[in-house]
Amino acid sequence: MKIAVIGDKDTIALFRMAGVSECYGEEEKFDEIVKRDDIAILVVSGKFCNRLRSKIVYHRLAKNLPIIVELPEKKEEWEDTIRKLIVRAVGVEVE
């Protein structure tokens, strides 16, 4: 079973260095990848997650494989970390 990635050029570069050969920069590849029997995990980076949201939800309800892992965008991850630090320090949720 293989891992596939749909993401931006930085995400693709990192996964290629880790040995993943199935890396794509186009969201149009999603339908093709989820139909394949040899893909066990599909990693989708942030901006593509937002664009493919309805397809990801449908796939998760309809099929078990491939497992779809969503990577947050760099900015979202940073804002979320700051939010968690504030909540931990102050004890109040920040909007």
pLDDT confidence of residue 7: 92
Residue 54: inside a domain = yes
Q: 70-93: per-residue pLDDT in tens?
A: 887 766 555 566 667 667 666 666
Print the domain residue range for 66: 2-90
Is residue 95 domain-resident?
no
Structural domain count, the chain:
1
Asked, for residue 13, whether it belongs to a domain, the answer is yes
Q: What CATH number should be reported for the domain holding residue 52? A: 3.40.50.10580
* DSSP per-residue codes, the chain: -EEEEE--HHHHHHHHHTT--EEES-TTHHHHHHH-SSEEEEEEEHHHHHHTHHHHHHHHHH-SSSEEEEEPPHHHHHHHHHHHHHHHHH-S---
Over the stretch 10-69, which tens digit does the pLDDT of each residue have?
A: 889 999 999 999 999 998 999 999 999 999 999 999 889 888 999 999 998 898 899 999
